[in-house]
Amino acid sequence: METKLKKVDIIFEDDKTISPIGILEKTIKRSADEIILDLIDSGLKGRGGAGFPTGLKWKFTRNEDSEVKYVICNADEGEPGTFKDREILDRVPEKIFTGMAICGYVIGAKEGYIYIRGEYNFLLKSIQAKLDKFNNEMKQKHIDFTIYLKSGSGAYVCGEESALFESMEGKRGEPRNKPPYPTVAGYNNKPTVINNVETLVYTTMICHMGPEKFKALGTTDSRGSKVFSVSGDTPIPGIYELELGMPLNKFVEEFGDGDAKAIQVGGASGHCVPRKKFNDTIIGFEGIPTGGSMMIFNSSRSMYNVLHDYLEFFTEESCGQCTPCRVGCQQLLKGIEAVKRGERSPSYLDDLKKLTNTMKIAAKCGLGQSVGNPFNSIVDNFREEIIY
Amino acid sequence: MNKYLVNLKVNNMPVSVEEGTTILDAAKKLNLRIPTLCNHPDLSVAGNCRVCVVEIKGARLLAASCATPVSEGMEVFTNSEKVRIARKHIVELLLSEHNADCTKCFKNGNCELQDLASEYRIGDHVFLDLVKPAHKIQDISSPSIVKDDSKCIRCQRCVRTCHELQGISALAVTNKGDHQKISTFLNKPLNDVVCSACGQCINRCPTGALTERNYIEEVWKAIYDPTKFVVVQTAPATRVALGEDLGLPPGERVTGHMVSALKKLGFNKVLDTDFTADLTIMEEGTELLTRLKRALVDKDETAILPMMTSCSPGWIKFQEHMYPELLNNLSTCKSPQQMFGALAKTYYAEKINIKAQDMVVVSIMPCVAKKFECERSEMRDSGYQDVDYVLTTRELAMMIKQAGIDFGKIEEEHYDSILGESTGAAVIFGATGGVMEAALRTAYEIVTGREVPFTNLNIQPVRGMDGIKEASIKIKNVKPEWSFLEGVDLNVAIAHGLANARQLMEKVKSGEANYHFIEIMGCPGGCLGGGGQPIPTSPEIRKKRAEAIYSEDAGMPLRKSHENPEVIEVYSKFLGEPLGHKSHDLLHTHYKPRKRY
Ligand SMILES: Cc1cc2nc3c(=O)[nH]c(=O)nc-3n(C[C@H](O)[C@H](O)[C@H](O)COP(=O)(O)O)c2cc1C
Ligand code: SF4
Ligand code: SF4
Ligand code: SF4
Ligand code: SF4
Ligand code: FES
């Protein structure tokens, strides 16, 4: 097992020798199948949370028979504690555009959309200017692809891919039934690749530097590196690109304030790791995956309050359409309050844990399915704090 | 296109179904019932309640069987431990959010949530009570509909009904998370929004969250009041559906039983809206012919075509909100229920020597919009509110049960006279296309002196459940006074369900259509699928009711409105002639534009 914490510079790397549009021109001289093979070979998995292999996603969409297809960049970044996409959008948007255009070339799409979180509207002007320039350059180079910006509505659930499509289509942002999956019927019910901001930049960079370099980083299950948003009780909050597969204790050594008692990995919908498990927790798809958020809590924090905040967040941000999530979230929230006040016995927490299992397997989308992650990991590891 | 067969196993039993079939339907083929709440045969798939979840071998998540298509080799379990626990949790969660005060609920006994709760024996409340006090305040602003958010399980069937079938979207989902609810525009009272009062949402609400405003107690009170003379009228479509609420299968004709039950309930006279349906044909048919003459011969620009029927108050309210610019296309005829009310408190009251103020007119209707209609200020031409109370078919069934009448076993009886005689043409008012068919039977004969050229008077092209029907009838060998119609192709169109009506209105507005006459019924299938009819409803149930209506028509001795002897009599003794002065005063009305927001 790798024991070092390795900082990486791929996403924000300022390569003076080649521009993003240069990477695009170079890449589309190759065949679509070659590009897909490289992506599959690189082991790149989606950085938006679900971790689906990007090369396969592109391949499935390419294989669909449709005149119209779309590429969508998911820049909704609503997960509490995550702010890495904002940084990428601000600093290297051209690399995102390039990834989208390559994807368009590969799957046969002529249009791309960046669905950008409403709260990031302050970035719109500068991104739009850069985008106009990029679109123009593509036109001059006879690359038949155009990218548009769409500002989101602000609800967390609109980051869920199918809710995002609904929202883009002007409807209420409610997740759809699956199947069909986006690769078959996404935006406007056409085959669609939807990727996270960071995923798209990695595709650009893998096309540029080749899969080998990327593959050399990380572990078998978690190839490459990823951008982390580090927050909470840390002297050095911010954005860091780190190699995947790192042990959590190394991370805490680097970023903690010396008193870390728990790390919430993956934002509100992620898992809480207590101090006693730092040593044997790996950050990656084989251990605890994350969309990028690493929140550090030191011993001054009440884990009841942490959990309460998360549950309030989900209770509010559930789209409300499906029973397990809409009502389940409220029951979890009111339930820990009732236990805290002594109105329900501590064993009620076990009833609620069973409920989270139903939510996990029966809720309609990832939001409701993942509320059990913070609930169970906090209740299991900090039961006393919840009860007393 | 040929569809592939997909082989799968449900609870270890093999089954083959067409590709695209849902797991729910595949299980049905094996006679396995999977519980559902948000699913409805008239609506698109929502997949939001999640009670229909099943386990698929090898899958991490349970699948909503109503929303998941089968795939080859799939192994499904509808009753595994995982499924049972999840399903029970889901029902418990719904109940925790639900004001489960069943004994006080109008839907007690006909509630899909209650059924599930009792199936799963949910007695002890595991979870906390989440019912919001604000949700317990019912919206009773509408004379037709009561909305009770504390009973709502957010299945969105009402939202889909109002959008998909009615093209209105008076109800929509607002807010998210714990604040999510079914609401109107700006959360205004239902009576202040574009709601047509059609009641289709009620028919599809699985719980007591949407119900009709019920007037059962008021009607009992009137019956018990010795100073009141209570007459009741029954709409065409009630007689092919009432049985469903009283233990009979869909499609049973129960006309004689219904009359008998009404007499046993204590109504002084049991009369028939079918009588005024026939009268409507006389008035509306004449109005159509007059309009055609004014438009085609006199080139009178105030004679507006196409003329549109006006017997569906849900449709009228829709039109007032959505197409105020087309109000002059509407026939000025009142609906049969309101013609009846106006005649009952004038002509009839005089005849039987009862003072109008002592008379109470009750309607048994397949409709909830008629509750709204009877309270319209235009509907007081007798000097009093012409119709006092409107009960739905469902409310009548409830009264019959309350009175302990064994509906299946009672002797059949005949309507009282007068205002009780009718023809087959009136009966078919209850089905989409029926008014058109009845009107054509009469108008064609007036113009040509011959019967409509269709076998057994059955005008097949205007029948059936297609959302929009079009037909063209060539008029030949007319009587001399109708010579302007010689050789004319009379173009007619029929729509039922307001989403279809909207399509037709757009065609009229754009000028792309050249119809002379349009029949619109607000509800899918026409009144037989009305918002006051027994619940549940489905395409199959409505088909059975339609068959019953057409067989009732076929079995009637008289099949043409102008042959109804009581209609002939009311003209000779009271009204004079169709569109005459008295008709104008009592049987016709006007419309008013209403706001969309
Ligand atoms: C409630 C919810 C919110 C989500 N929000 C985001 C988001 O803000 N950004 C994102 O990239 N993916 C988000 N996702 C994941 C997306 O649904 C989707 O899996 C992702 O955009 C795919 O991109 P990737 O393969 O590049 O990771 C969210 C998922 C859920 C269930
Ligand atoms: S899980 Fe929650 S967010 Fe997802 S569809 Fe259900 S209610 Fe909406
Ligand atoms: S809606 Fe159903 S479950 Fe609810 S109170 Fe009424 S009858 Fe009971
Ligand atoms: S009564 Fe008709 S128009 Fe009104 S909300 Fe219900 S379905 Fe919509
Ligand atoms: S009002 Fe009835 S139909 Fe509408 S969402 Fe609520 S329970 Fe479902
Ligand atoms: S019936 Fe299938 S989810 Fe509601």
pLDDT tens figures, B472-498: 999 999 999 999 999 999 999 999 999
Indicate which ligand has the atom closest to the C-alpha of A176.
2
- Residue pair A322/B50 in contact (Cβ under 8 Å)? The answer is yes
Q: Is B39 in the pocket of ligand 6 (CB under 6 A)?
A: yes
What stretches of B19-121 adopt beta strand conformation (E)?
Answer: 53-56, 63-64, 75-77
A320/B62 CB distance under 8 A: no
Q: Is A163 in the pocket of ligand 2 (CB under 6 A)?
A: no
pLDDT tens for residues B381-392? Answer: 999 999 999 999
Q: What is the CATH number of the domain that holds B445?
A: 3.40.50.1780
- Atom 6 in ligand 2: which residue has the minimum CA distance? A322
B399 sits in which H/E element: helix B393-402
B321 CA distance to ligand 2 centroid (A)?
Answer: 35
**Whether residue B166 is found in the same domain as residue B291:** no
Of B61, B94, B173, which has the smallest distance from its Cβ to A323's Cβ? B94
pLDDT tens for residues B157-196? Answer: 999 999 999 999 999 999 999 999 999 998 999 999 999 9
A75 CA distance to ligand 1 centroid (A)?
Answer: 9
At A282, list the tokens.
């790996």
User: Does B229 reside within a domain?
Assistant: yes
The C-alpha of B108 sits at a distance from chain A's nearest C-alpha, in angstroms, of 22
Residue A1 has pLDDT above 50, yes or no: no
* pLDDT for residue B125: 73
Residue A2 has pLDDT above 90, yes or no: no
Half-sphere exposure of residue B186: CA atoms within 13 angstroms, side-chain side: 7
**Whether residue B146 is found in the same domain as residue B80:** no
DSSP for residue B139: B
- Atom 2 in ligand 4: which residue has the minimum CA distance? B198
B180/A321 CB distance under 8 A: yes
Q: What is the pTM of this model?
A: 0.96
**Whether residue B545 is found in the same domain as residue B423:** yes
B188: left (phi over 0), alpha (psi -120 to 50) or beta: beta
What mean pLDDT is predicted for residues A125-143? 97
**Whether residue B313 is found in the same domain as residue B448:** yes
User: Does B116 reside within a domain?
Assistant: no
Alpha helices in B458-538 (DSSP H): 498-510
* pLDDT for residue A50: 87
Ligand 2 atom nearest residue A359's Cα: 1
What is the extent of the structural domain holding B48?
5-93
Among B194, B212, B230, where does a domain finish? B212
Cβ contacts (< 8 Å) between A364 and chain B: which residues? 47-48, 50, 64
User: Does B117 reside within a domain?
Assistant: no
* For chain A, percent of residues with pLDDT exceeding 70: 99
Q: What contacts B123, CB < 8 A, 6 or more positions away?
A: none
At B235, list the tokens.
């709409």
Indicate which ligand has the atom closest to the C-alpha of B104.
3
Cβ contacts (< 8 Å) between A155 and chain B: which residues? 176
pLDDT confidence band for A3 (50 / 70 / 90): low
Give me the residues paired with residue B77 across strands. Answer: B55
- Atom 6 in ligand 5: which residue has the minimum CA distance? B152
Indicate which ligand has the atom closest to the C-alpha of B112.
3
Among B51, B77, B93, where does a domain finish? B93
Among B52, B71, B93, where does a domain finish? B93
Instruction: Please state which CATH number belongs to domain A20-215.
Output: 3.40.50.11540
* pLDDT for residue A334: 98
Cβ contacts (< 8 Å) between B60 and chain A: which residues? 361
Domain boundaries, chain A: 20-215, 225-298, 303-387
Q: Is B135 helix (H, G, I), strand (E, B) or coil?
A: helix
pLDDT tens for residues B511-558? Answer: 998 999 999 999 999 999 999 999 999 999 999 999 999 999 999 999
**Whether residue B206 is found in the same domain as residue B229:** no
Instruction: Please state which CATH number belongs to domain A225-298.
Output: 3.10.20.600
Q: What contacts A350, CB < 8 A, 6 or more positions away?
A: none
Q: What contacts A65, CB < 8 A, 6 or more positions away?
A: none
pLDDT tens for residues B317-352? Answer: 999 999 999 999 999 999 999 999 999 999 999 999
Cβ contacts (< 8 Å) between B53 and chain A: which residues? 361-362
Instruction: Please state which CATH number belongs to domain A303-387.
Output: 1.20.1440.230
- Residue pair A174/A321 in contact (Cβ under 8 Å)? The answer is yes
Residues of chain B whose pLDDT is less than 70?
1-2, 123
* pLDDT for residue B122: 76
Total domain count, chain B = 3
**Whether residue B83 is found in the same domain as residue B129:** no
What stretches of B131-277 adopt beta strand conformation (E)?
Answer: 145-147, 172-174, 181-183, 210-212, 229-234, 269-272
Residue B370 CA to residue A55 CA, distance in Å, equals 61
B324 CA distance to ligand 4 centroid (A)?
Answer: 18
User: Does B584 reside within a domain?
Assistant: yes
Residue B541 CA to residue A9 CA, distance in Å, equals 67
Beta strand B307-308 pairing with B517-521: parallel
Ligand 5 atom nearest residue B201's Cα: 3
**Portion 32-91 of B in contact with A at CB < 8 A:** 45-51, 53, 60-62, 64, 67-69, 82, 85-86, 89-90
Neighbour-count burial of B188, counting CB atoms closer than 10 A to its CB (0-12 exposed, 13-18 middle, 19+ buried): middle
Residue A7 CA to residue A211 CA, distance in Å, equals 19
B180/A319 CB distance under 8 A: yes
B173/A330 CB distance under 8 A: no
**Whether residue B425 is found in the same domain as residue B332:** yes
At A363, list the tokens.
């809720």
pLDDT tens for residues A156-182? Answer: 999 999 999 999 999 999 999 999 999
What mean pLDDT is predicted for residues A55-78? 98
User: Does B106 reside within a domain?
Assistant: no
pLDDT tens for residues A331-387? Answer: 999 999 999 999 999 999 999 999 999 999 999 999 999 999 999 999 999 999 999
